[in-house]
Structure 1
């Protein structure tokens, strides 16, 4: 198992239990305790955990999101498949908002090279799209969130309110039929709501791990989503409830 997938499984255990044990992880992940200790040391440098005797404890508050660099490797293959499906749903000539986050970055990469007008809501996505001569790039004003590069604040919301888009590619931190689409950061959630109000169609991207999470701020109800693109690990019963709500579900 390569480092990134192993780190992903360690972080999932930290999310669930708040503490991990070196010996238990070595057995569960079929590797040596030496390797697990190196993994924990690497994750400690990222600021997500604190090493203690025999293991580690989480430094993230309940419901707090992981740093961008770690989320970028979380379910990376699924995000790339989802992004490819999203790109197939977007027609040349459309005006598109690409939401922030690591899933939004994957979509930006999939859209690069297309003939589109795109407003990315993060600096990483703007950097990717700026290298494509066929993209008409619209940049919102606003404040950037440290470590995320996402655009937030009243200037960003005003930029969105002044325009009308064909498609919003919406990302999320949590997703459920009852709680709807949720995000950890209040300002980020406000920008997402503003983007949805300015778009004719909302395409939500959510890898399967998002179905087990609910974040602090509500973005919208599932009935407000036109298309949901997820991966094959998404729970069938929950996906069924989205379809019953009238959402077009695509599985990557």
Structure 2
């Protein structure tokens, strides 16, 4: 079966709910598992699917926010490793903005107890940082989103404008050289823009699978970043292009067994 035909078969199969196994795809296409793995890499880099251990699954439509519990369960070990690496980039006594999101929450857990001043855009990060003495934790006013516990509204933007941060720790739903950094909701994008303007240094912490994907609400170009922290299974050609923009790319080993 030719490459283009295989890709069509894979995409039709992946479009069903759940995880499609590599062995099922080899049976459908009549090619080796090595060839299927190569096809999955190409399709993931194009943003059509997400690889898993032993298979692949479809990616959500770009405008679909995922429930917080689902996002928290994804890439759990990778987030822990990324959080450890990111925490090492933060110096004592710095003023830090923590973006909304499960990866930023993981970074907050790593920094709990450190002598920093933190402005948190979600209650999850605020609770993580406040669980140990030593950290000054602030949250802006405004409504709290029921699922993610993210704060939104004019009070958040005002708080960010009045906060002079040394660094912001950002999350994104997708990171694309062509389409920039993006998220799935308008309010979240507005918060991220204001946080970027409030900080002298901008660190994006992102799982490898979110590179070269696209979401609905763009909030910045990749070039605004100072540092990007991801895992070593990220596509090398994309990381090289990001480095060419002047962004320091920091990679940490991907968890064992995360990728097939």
Which TM-score applies when normalising by structure 2? 0.75
Map of 1:65 onto structure 2: 65
Deviations 1:162-216 (A, max 9, x none): 1100000010000011111111111000000001111000001111010142111
1:170 aligns to 2:167 (yes or no):
no
Q: Secondary structure at the match of 1:228?
A: strand
Map of 1:152 onto structure 2: 152
C-alpha deviation, 1:28, in angstroms: 5.2
Map of 2:49 onto structure 1: none
Deviations 1:136-178 (A, max 9, x none): 0111112222211111111111111011000000100000111
Deviations 1:14-43 (A, max 9, x none): 9x9442379x659659xxxxxxxxxxxxxx
Map of 1:250 onto structure 2: 250
Residues 199-208 or 65-74, more deviating: 65-74
Map of 1:19 onto structure 2: 16
C-alpha deviation, 1:61, in angstroms: 5.2
1:218-233 → structure 2 map (5 Å cutoff): 218-233=218-233
Indicate conservation of the 8 Å contact 2:62/2:215, yes or no. Answer: no
Q: Secondary structure at the match of 2:249?
A: strand
Map of 1:138 onto structure 2: 138
Measure the CA separation in 2 of the matches of 1:180 and 1:146: 28
Q: Secondary structure at the match of 1:143?
A: coil
Map of 1:99 onto structure 2: 99
Structure with the bigger RCO (C-alpha within 8 Å, sep 6+) is 2
The count of corresponding residues between Structure 1 and Structure 2 is 210
Map of 1:75 onto structure 2: 75
Unaligned 5+ runs, structure 2? 1-9, 26-57, 253-260
Measure the CA separation in 2 of the matches of 1:181 and 1:159: 22
Measure the CA separation in 2 of the matches of 1:107 and 1:21: 29
Unaligned 5+ runs, structure 1? 1-12, 30-57
C-alpha RMSD of the superposition? 2.4
Measure the CA separation in 2 of the matches of 1:78 and 1:28: 27
Q: Secondary structure at the match of 1:181?
A: strand
Map of 2:201 onto structure 1: 201
Indicate conservation of the 8 Å contact 2:62/2:216, yes or no. Answer: no
Map of 2:29 onto structure 1: none
1:125 aligns to 2:125 (yes or no):
yes
Q: Secondary structure at the match of 1:140?
A: coil
